[in-house]
Amino acid sequence: MSSYKLSVLSSLIFFAAVAISCNHSEKKSDKIEIRVEQLLEKMTLDDKIGQMTQVDPGFAGGDEQLKKSVRDGRYGSILNLWGVEKVNEMQKIAIEESRLGIPLLIGRDVIHGYRTIFPIPLGMAASWNPEIVKKAFRISAIECSSQGIKWTFAPMIDITWDPRWGRIAEGCGEDPYLASTLSKAMVEGIQGDNLTDPTAVAACAKHFAGYGFSEGGRDYNTTYISEPVLRNVVLKPFKAAKDAGALTFMSGFNDLNGVPATGNEFTLRQILRKEWGFQGMVVSDWSSISEMISHGFCANEKEAAYKALTAGVDMEMSSFTYAGNLKTLLKEGKIDQKLVDDAVRNILRVKFKLGLFENPYVNPEAQKQVLNPEFLDHARTVARESAVLLKNKNKTLPLSPKIHSVAVIGPLADSPRDQLGTWVFDGKAENSVTPLTALKELLGADKVNYIKGLQYSRDKNKSEFAKTVALAKQSDAIVYFGGEEWILSGEGQCRGEINMPGAQDELIEALASTGKPLVVVIMAGRPLAIGNLLAKADAVLYGWHGGSMAGPALADLIFGKESPSGKLPVTFVKGSGQIPFYYYHNNTGRPASAKNWTPMDSIPVVNPQTSLGYKSFQLDYGFTPLLPFGFGLSYTTFNYSDLKLSAMSMSTTGSIEIKANVANSGDMDADEIVQLYIRDRVGSITRPVKELKGYKRVTIKQGKNVEIIFRLEAKDLEFFNGKANVIEPGEFDVWIGPNSAEGLHGEFTIH
What span, in angstroms and rounded, lies between the C-alpha atoms of 211 and 161?
A: 11
Q: Sort strands 105-108 and 151-152 into parallel, antiparallel or unpaired.
A: parallel
Helices 465-473 and 504-512: angle between axes, nearest 10 degrees = 30
**Amino acid, res. 248:** T
CA 557 to CA 564: how far, in whole Å? 6
User: In 3-state terms, what secondary structure has residue 343?
Assistant: helix
Give all strands (DSSP E) within 265-320, no chain letters.
Answer: 281-283, 316-317
Distance CA 512, CA 469 (A): 9
Residue 452 near residue 410 (C-beta atoms within 8 A): yes
- Of 419, 441, 443, 446, the closest CA to residue 431 belongs to 419
* Strand 655-664, strand 705-713: pairing: antiparallel
Looking at 109, 219, 255, 285, which residue is catalytic?
285
* Measured distance CA(698)–CA(341) in Å, rounded: 50
- Sign (positive or negative) of CA dihedral 189, 191, 193, 199: positive
* Peptide bond between residue 119 and the one before it cis (omega within 30 degrees of 0): no
Amino acid identity of 138?
R
- Taking the C-alpha atoms of residue 708 and residue 599, their distance in angstroms, rounded to an integer, is 39
Q: Tell me the residue length of the chain.
A: 751
Which string of b and e fits 379-408 if b means at least 16 CB within 10 Å? bbbbbbbbbbbbbbeeebbbbeeeeeebbb
What secondary structure, in 3-state letters, does 678-731 show? EEECCCCCCCECCEEEEEEEEEECCCCEEEEEEEEEHHHHCEECCCCEECCCEE
Distance in angstroms (rounded) separating the CA atoms of residues 136 and 150: 17
* Helix or strand run (H / E) with residue 479: strand 477-483
Residue 372 CA, distance from chain mean position: 24
Distance CA 614, CA 610 (A): 8
Tell whether the torsion through CA atoms of 293, 296, 297 and 299 is positive or negative.
Answer: positive
DSSP E strands: which ranges in 555-689? Answer: 638-645, 649-650, 655-664, 670-680
What is the side-by-side strand order in the sheet with 518-523?
388-392, 539-542, 518-523, 477-483, 406-409, 448-451
Residue 285 bears catalytic tag: yes
Q: Regarding beta strands 730-739 and 670-680, do their DSSP bridges make them parallel or antiparallel, or are they unpaired?
A: antiparallel
Closest of 551, 554, 544, 553 to residue 432, by C-alpha: 551
- Please, is 529 exposed, middle or buried when counting C-beta atoms within 10 Å of its C-beta (0-12, 13-18, 19+)? buried
Q: How many CA atoms lie within 13 A of 384 on its CB side?
A: 20
E strands in 40-127: 53-55, 77-79, 105-108
- Let me know: does 49 contact 322? Beta carbons within 8 Å: yes
Task: Enumerate the active-site residues.
Answer: 285
